[in-house]
Amino acid sequence: MPNLNDIVEIAEALESKAVFAAEERCVVVRNRNAKCRKCVEACPSGAIEVGGNRLTYSARACVSCGACTVVCPTETLIPMRPLDEDLATSIAQACVLADGTAVFACARAAAKRTADPNRYAEVPCLARMEESVLMGLAAHGVSRLVLVDGTCKTCKYRACNPGIDATVASVNTLLEAEGISLRVERMSEFPEELRVEETTGLFGVSRRGFFTQAKDVAKDAAEKAAVTALKKELEKKAPSLRDRLKMNDKGSLPQFNAMRRMHVLDAMDTIGMPIADAFETRLWGNVQIDTEKCSSCFMCTTFCPTGALRKSEEAEDGKVHAIEFSTADCVQCRMCEDICLKKCITVSDVVSTSDLFDFEPRVIELPEPPKKAGLISNLKRR
Ligand code: SF4
Ligand code: SF4
Ligand code: SF4
């Protein structure tokens, strides 16, 4: 007979979340002055609220499109259905059967049953597609990259449509910078070679059916156990901001590695060094600090979620006189821009290829912090 803890654990495991929120990574949770609202703007169902050091995600309102997980610069929002790994596995299998053509279709396109379901991978919405999976396929030498939509104009989640175009443009810019001719194609019909006329027998539980069924089963189970879980939640003391941010004993904020971006860099490295000297991207940023205005407060290094901006080593006088910056670690979250009281930081979305692939950080020398006026200096001034 399971005890209460077992039941709560099962309920939590079955909770029908399409997205896991690692809230300590969110720039708004880290600092209430951060302006990022990309997830809120991208979500077609109002499932996310952000503000005042809080990120709230409603599993009930979520329609599992994945749009928020693609636009979040800090990878706070992690897709659970399908996971990136599952998506990569299913496309790898489909790609072999489709002779090297990698095709992704949304659930609406798949529901038309006009193509062999074994030869493409299905996602709830094409808004789930992002650079690491597509660039990974390019690095594996696929002959085509195709996204098949189900006529977004009439889809009830059509608000995701511009986001899908933005992803296609982002990947195509990277491919162009690489100097290869492969491009992501977006179509409203399956490629000819995948189409079938007689679909009977090919469709058991389709992948769409699988995801939908899994969602329904999980939702039912979660709902049945919700009362117990709720009771347990109410008994819990609300965690402090410090706990939610997973601060260490010294009060430092945690930093993380942006895994999807690392996969994109790996893929670019496999394809070959980009031929473009610089390119525009939403994935990485180029930080400039106006050292004339900088007060050397190091706030940017404290709040940067990835450590792209960090303090240099202490000099012989025991003080830090410089900041180091790594383009490859910068996720273009603009936290540093938002929190700098002197407004001396700018983040550009044009990155240089040599900076991106350079493992040595750029060193930015800072001015001496102004001396605080003390009693004696005040007396002298009089
Ligand atoms: S997956 Fe889609 S519906 Fe769910 S929270 Fe993210 S953007 Fe909103
Ligand atoms: S960092 Fe991510 S989760 Fe936080 S507000 Fe921006 S998009 Fe949303
Ligand atoms: S350097 Fe600035 S924009 Fe880049 S990750 Fe750090 S805080 Fe975000």
DSSP assignment of 127-174, as one string? GG--HHHHHHHHHTT-SEEEEE-S-GGGSTTGGGHHHHHHHHHHHHHH
How many Cα neighbours within 13 Å face the side chain of 200? Answer: 0
Q: What confidence score (pLDDT) does residue 238 get? A: 66
Q: What confidence score (pLDDT) does residue 317 get? A: 78
Place of tokens 């400039």: 288
Q: What confidence score (pLDDT) does residue 308 get? A: 97
Q: Is residue 124 in contact with ligand 1, taking CB distance under 6 Å? A: no
Q: What confidence score (pLDDT) does residue 121 get? A: 95
Name the more confident of 369 and 164: 164
Q: Assess contact for 305 and 256: CB atoms under 8 A.
A: yes
Q: What confidence score (pLDDT) does residue 18 get? A: 92
CA dihedral 42, 46, 49, 55 (to 10 degrees): -70
pLDDT at 210 over 60: no
Q: Which two tokens stand for residue 83?
A: 């996971």
Is there a common fold for 4-81+213-244 and 277-365?
Answer: yes
pLDDT at 313 over 60: yes
200: confidence class by pLDDT, cuts 50, 70, 90? low
Mean pLDDT for the chain? 85
pLDDT at 112 over 70: yes
pLDDT at 324 over 50: yes
Helix (H) or strand (E) holding 269: helix 259-271
Q: Rounded distance, CA 184 to CA 171, Å?
A: 7
Q: In sequence order, what DSSP letters do the residues of 45-80 get, joined into one string? A: T--EEEETTEEEE-TTT-----HHHHH-TT--EEE-
Q: Assess contact for 275 and 162: CB atoms under 8 A.
A: no
Q: Is residue 45 in contact with ligand 1, taking CB distance under 6 Å? A: yes
The residue-averaged pLDDT of 322-338 equals: 97
Question: Which residue's CA is the closest to the ligand 2 atom numbered 2?
Answer: 72
Q: What confidence score (pLDDT) does residue 197 get? A: 80
pLDDT at 380 over 60: no
Taking phi over 0 as left and psi of -120 to 50 as alpha, with beta for the rest, 248 belongs to beta
Burial 149-180 (b: 16+ CB within 10 A, else e): bbebeebebebbbebbeebbebbbbbbbbbee
pLDDT at 13 over 70: no
Please report the atom of ligand 1 found closest to the CA of residue 42. 7
Q: Is residue 21 in contact with ligand 1, taking CB distance under 6 Å? A: no
Rounded to the nearest whole angstrom, what is the distance from the C-alpha of residue 108 to the centroid of ligand 1?
A: 17
Picking from 25-29, 112-116, 140-144, 207-211, which range would have the lowest pLDDT averaged per residue?
207-211
pLDDT at 16 over 90: no
Q: What confidence score (pLDDT) does residue 369 get? A: 65
The residue-averaged pLDDT of 31-59 equals: 95
Please report the atom of ligand 1 found closest to the CA of residue 46. 8
Q: Look up residue 300 and give its amino acid.
A: C
Q: Is residue 68 in contact with ligand 1, taking CB distance under 6 Å? A: yes
Cis ω for the linkage preceding 82 (within 30 of 0): yes
The residue-averaged pLDDT of 123-152 equals: 94
Identify the nearest ligand to the CA of 62 by its number.
1
Q: Is residue 66 in contact with ligand 1, taking CB distance under 6 Å? A: yes
Q: What confidence score (pLDDT) does residue 381 get? A: 43
Choose the CATH number for 4-81+213-244 among 1.10.260.40, 1.10.10.10, 3.50.50.60, 3.30.70.20.
3.30.70.20
Q: Assess contact for 164 and 187: CB atoms under 8 A.
A: no
Q: What confidence score (pLDDT) does residue 212 get? A: 46
pLDDT at 194 over 50: yes
- 88-102, 164-178, 288-302 — most confident range: 164-178
Q: Rounded distance, CA 6 to CA 22, Å?
A: 24
pTM (whole model) above 0.85: no
The residue-averaged pLDDT of 245-264 equals: 83
pLDDT at 226 over 50: no
C-alpha distance across the termini of the chain, in Å:
81
**CATH 3.40.50.2300 correct for 277-365:** no
316: confidence class by pLDDT, cuts 50, 70, 90? confident
**What are the φ and ψ backbone dihedral angles of 361, each rounded to 5 degrees?**
-70, 155
Q: Assess contact for 39 and 51: CB atoms under 8 A.
A: no
Give the residue, out of 33, 38, 284, 334, with the most ligand 3 atoms within 8 A of its beta carbon, to mutate for a pocket test: 334
For the chain, domain boundaries: 4-81+213-244, 84-203, 277-365
Beta strands in the chain, from DSSP E residues, in sequence order: 19-21, 48-51, 54-57, 77-79, 101-106, 121-123, 144-148, 184-187, 278-280, 286-289, 309-311, 322-325, 345-348, 350-352, 362-365
Ligand 3, residues at Cβ distance < 6 Å: 285, 287, 304, 306, 308-309, 330-336, 347
Rounded to the nearest whole angstrom, what is the distance from the C-alpha of residue 24 to the centroid of ligand 2?
A: 10
Q: What confidence score (pLDDT) does residue 201 get? A: 56
Please report the atom of ligand 2 found closest to the CA of residue 48. 8
